[in-house]
Structure 1
Amino acid sequence: MAGVGASILRGLRHSAVGRSILAALGAFYIWLVLRTTRWQVEGAEHLDALLRRGGGFIPCLWHGRLFMSPTWAPPGRRTVAMISNNADGDLIAGVVGWFGVHTVRGSTYDKQKHRDKGGRAAYDGAAVELTGADAVVAITPDGPRGPRMHAQTGAAMLAIETGVPILPVAFSTRRGVVLKSWDRFLVPFPFGRGALVYGPPLDPPPASLEAIEQFRQSIEAQTTSVMNRADDLMERERVPAAVPRRVPSDPGAGQPGAGG
C-alpha cells in the first residue's frame, strides 16, 4: 500500500492539476499547525523596527525551516519568495500563494561555473521588488540544494546592491519530524508548542569583494544563531551545518545566487 501511495503522490506532483490539489492540502496543513500551536515569539521588536522604518527588507532562513514561512508575511506588506524554477518550485509557489505570498522564480546563478537556471532573472526580479515596491523578499541562502546552513553570496549581494537590511528568522516546534533530506527539513505536527525567533537586522556594508564575503559570513552566523535559539527553546536537538564546504577564493565567486 505504501508503494501505491508513493506512486499516486509522484503522479500528482507531475501534473498541474495534481500540484494544485497538493498545494491546497499543504496550505491547509500549514494553517492547521499555525492555528493549533502555542507560539512563543522572541525578537519581535526587530521585525517591528523594520516595519516602522519602512522600505524593503530580506528575511533570511535556512532551507530546512521553510515549512511555516508563508505564515510570516507582515500584514499590509507585499511579501515575495524566491523559489526554484522547477516542478517542486511550482508546488511550493502554489502553497505560498494561499497565504498571499508572491514569487520570483529561478535557481542558483553561478557565473563562475557558467550556469544560470533562471537565477539571474530571479535576482533581478527580487531587486526590483525591494527597491520599487518596498517588498519583503524572503530568501533561503543555502537553497535550493545546499550545502546545508552555508550561505551562498546571493543574499549578501542583493542586500548590498539594494541597500536593504537582512532579517534572520527561524522557527522550531516541540513536536515534529526532521526528514533525512540534505537540509534536515523540519515538518511540525499540530497541537503542540512552537518558537519563532527573529534576530537583529543586519544592515549591508558599502560594496566591495571583501565586504560581500564578510557580510555573507555574518548572514550565515546569525541565521544559524536564531535557528539554534528556536531549537533550544523547544528542547530540540540542534541541526549541524553540512561539512566539508569548499570556500571559493577567486573574485569570480562573488556572484548572485537565489535561494530556492
Structure 2
Amino acid sequence: MLKKLGKHPLVIKLVGNAMAYYLLFVRKSSKFTLDPPNFYEDHKEGTPYVVSMWHGQHFMMPFARPKGWDVRVMISRSTDGEMQAICASKLGLGLIRAAGAQNAKQIKKRGGMRGFIEALRGLKDGGNVAMTADVPKGPARKAGKGIIQLAKHSGRPLLPVAIATSRHRDLDTWDKASINLPFSHIALCFGEPIPVPADASDEQLEEIRQLLETRMNETTDKAYAIAKSGKK
C-alpha cells in the first residue's frame, strides 16, 4: 500500500517540490566558494558544454547554473527520477527524460537513444547538457561511454563539475549518495574542459574516457577539500 502510494502523482509532485525548497534552504544557509573564481567569465565563449557529474554527488548541481545560461539535465523516467525532475525544473533547469544503462536492452527501456538524440538537439540549439558520467548501478565514479559519445557527435567539449558541502550524510547506496545539509560551506569546482575530436578512434575515445574519469575524481576531491577547509 505504501509503495503504491509513493508512486501517486500527487505524492511525487509534493516530494519533488519539497526537495527543491530543501535544497534552496541548504544553499541560502551556507557559504559558497567557486573554483576557479572567474570560471564563468573565462569560459562563457566555450559554451555549450556537455557537463559531467557523478551520481550521488549531484543534488546541489542546479546551483552551478549561472543566471542566463541554458542548462538541460538528463534524468531517468523512474519514480525517483520524476521527483528529481520536478525539483530540477523548480530550480530552473531544462529536462531531458532518459538515462544511460549498461546494455542495449536497458538503454532501450530507459529511453537512452531517444535521450541521446534530444541531447544532441539541445546542444545544437546552444543549450548546455548535464548528465551523470557513471551509469546505474555502478561501479560508481567510473565514467561510461555514453557521455563521451555525446561529446564526440555533438562536437562540444566535456566539462567536469563537482559540488560538495562541508556538512553531509552519505547513504549506503551503490553511488554513496551524499545528502547535503544546511549551514555548510559549499564548494563548486570545475575541471578543465576536454575536447573530443569528431574523428576520434576507439582507442582515443577510451583515453578520453579515462581522462574524464581522472579529472572528475580530482575535481570532486578538490570540492570536498575546499568545503571542509572553509576557505574561500
Q: Counterpart in 2 of 1:73?
A: 65
Q: Post-superposition shift, 1:73?
A: 1.9
Distance 2:207 2:105 in 1: 22
Q: Distance in 1 between matches of 2:207 and 2:10?
A: 45
- Identify the residue that residue 75 of structure 2 maps to in structure 1: 83
Q: How far 1:12 moved relative to its partner? A: 5.0
Cα separation, partners in 2 of 1:227 and 1:116, compared to 1, 3 Å: same
Under a length normalisation based on structure 1, what TM-score does the superposition of the two structures give? 0.81
Secondary structure at the counterpart of residue 128 of structure 1 = helix
In percent, how many aligned pairs have the same letter?
28
| Greater CA drift, 196-205 or 23-32 | 196-205
CA distance in 2, matches of 1:221, 1:11: 41
1:16 aligns with 2:14: no
- Provide the C-alpha distance between the structure 2 equivalents of 1:92 and 1:85, rounded to a whole number of angstroms: 10
Secondary structure of the 1:63 match is: coil
Corresponding letter in the other structure for 2:29: T
Deviation for aligned residue 1:67: 1.0
Q: Give the CA deviation at 1:11.
A: 5.2
List per-residue Cα deviations over 1:118-164 (Å, max 9, x = no partner).
10000111011001x11111110113322100000011111111111
Quick one: structure 1 residues 135 and 174, their matched pair in 2 at CA, closer, same or farther if it must change by over 3 Å?
same
- Measured in 2, the distance between the counterparts of 1:46 and 1:202 equals 15
Q: Distance in 1 between matches of 2:179 and 2:106?
A: 35
Corresponding residue for residue 33 of structure 1: 26
Aligned with residue 162 of structure 1, among 154, 157, 166: 154
Q: Displacement, 1:99?
A: 1.2
Aligned residues: 227
> Does 1:130 pair with 2:107?
no
Runs of 4+ in 1 over 6 A off after TM superposition: none
What RMSD, in angstroms, separates the aligned Cα atoms of the two structures? 2.0
Question: Matched residue of 2:161: which SS?
Answer: strand
* Matching of residue 57 in structure 1 with residue 49 in structure 2: yes
Q: Is 1:94 aligned to residue 104 of structure 2? A: no
Query: Would the alpha carbon gap of residues 114 and 34 (structure 1) be closer, same or farther in structure 2, given more than 3 Å must change?
Result: closer
The Cα of 1:20 is off from its aligned counterpart by: 0.5
Whether the 8 Å CA contact 1:197–1:229 is kept in 2: the answer is: yes
The amino acid across from 2:209 in the alignment is: R
- Aligned partners of 1:143 and 1:135: how far apart in 2? 23
- Check 1:122–1:35 CA distance in 2 against 1; reply closer, same or farther (3 A cut): same
Tell me how far apart the structure 2 counterparts of residues 234 and 77 of structure 1 sit (CA, whole Å).
25
Amino acid at match of 1:16: P
Q: Matches of 2:23 and 2:132 in 1, distance apart?
A: 19
Q: 1:203 to 1:48 in 2, by over 3 A?
A: farther
CA contact (8 A) 1:169 1:223 kept: yes
Farther-moved stretch of structure 1 (28-37 vs 64-73): 64-73
What secondary structure is seen at the aligned counterpart in 2 of 1:234? Answer: helix
The letter of the residue matching 2:12 is R
Structure-2 change in CA distance of 1:202 and 1:128 (3 Å) = same
What is the deviation of 1:60?
A: 0.8
Is this contact kept in 1: 2:64–2:188, CA < 8 A?
Answer: no
Residues of 2 paired with 1:125 and 1:84: CA distance? 13
- 1:143 is the counterpart of 2:135: yes
CA distance in 2, matches of 1:120, 1:77: 25
Residue type of the partner of 1:168?
P
Give the CA deviation at 1:208: 1.6
Question: SS at the partner of 1:80?
Answer: strand
